[in-house]
Structure 1
Amino acid sequence: MRDFTAAAGRLRSLSLGAKLLYTAFTVASVIGLLVSWRLYGAMVHDAGSAGYYAGAAVVAPAPTQTAAPAEGPALDLGPELDLPATPETPRVLVEQISERKLLEVTHFHLFSVPVYVLILAHLWLLARLPSWLHTAGVVAAVFTSGLHMAAPWLIRGAPGAAALMPVSGVAMLVSLGAMAVVSTVDMWSPRRSRRGEAPPPSEAE
């Protein structure tokens, strides 16, 4: 933990093995964020957030046109029905996700996302950046990830808040993705010695 009491920029002083290890983690983090976004799209599909989490009615896709039937004898179908000139758009009621399944998903995320954010934030705090940017990045990462985990429950109670799911997801993707990319770039940047700066412990011994 002594790395966090020293000046920023400790990432550049890590050993080659540590850099390779942390780089693998940051690359996997970015890939995981992109896969999660793709999974979200496949999960809600046409229903959207409101349909998937709250069971709201959604507009069904327009039916595909079929070929005109072949000419045949006319059939007498009885008196014509008084049908509207323009039929209403069909709507499909999507079944709401069960509370048991939502609890399972939330349980998994509560035990994995905080650890994920914790590791990325530690690398972020070791990067050579201004202290205000360190604080802003940590606040953004914690807030967006927490909001994204809470979004399904908020939408379940208020389907009108469906936009909260994709908005919080994009915000989480940007904040955590930026932490991973910036930390990796700083980690592999050449070290710049400053006058009066104490050498790393590995060099002082």
Structure 2
Amino acid sequence: MSTHDPKRYYQTINLIEETGASEHSIRRYVRVLEETEGYPEIERDNRQNRLFNELDRMAVVEMVRLVKEEKKGVQDAAESVVLRLDEFKALLDVQETPSKANAVNEEINGPDGKSERLEYAITLLEHLLTNQKDLDERLKKIEAQHLQIETSTHTNEEDEKSEAPFSEDSATELPQNQEDNEVIDAPQAHKKTGGFWARLFGRL
């Protein structure tokens, strides 16, 4: 479980140190994230500098991971983060336990109370990660099916194109065959006629 304070605000330099990304990259990720529909507006101070809360920090860190490890584009990473906002908020809810309640819990339950909350947080995180993995696998299957359909359609079009010239060639060959037959038959007819005249003059 993260040890970050849910009530704390972070600056750009904090995100740079945590992710290892450059200042230019962090500012770009944040700008794209703010422009993505569904993401809440990031707070600013009197000088219009951004004040990142814990949700913003988690979102930017996840964007950097998606770009570096999964080779996603910045826009795709931002959209993926927006789709998982409920998961991040659930993790924050686990962390946001008032200090007074913690003290009461320790008095009643002793140190084991923290262990139970930690185990619950770990279980919740594992459940969320499992759901995300299932979604990724379904998306890959859909993309594979889409690619297969495109490939099949392209193959059918190529087959149709290859069949068309064959039909035309077949059609144009027929007259040529007929002409060849006529040329071949002509000498035979002449031969028969010549034989007739020879026999006639021979008789004379």
TM over 0.5: no
Q: Which structure has the larger Rg over C-alpha atoms?
A: 2
The answer to which structure, 1 or 2, has the higher relative contact order (CA under 8 A, 6+ apart) is: 1
| Alignment TM-score, normalising by the size of structure 1 | 0.28
The structure that is helix-richer by fraction is: 2
| Alignment TM-score, normalising by the size of structure 2 | 0.28
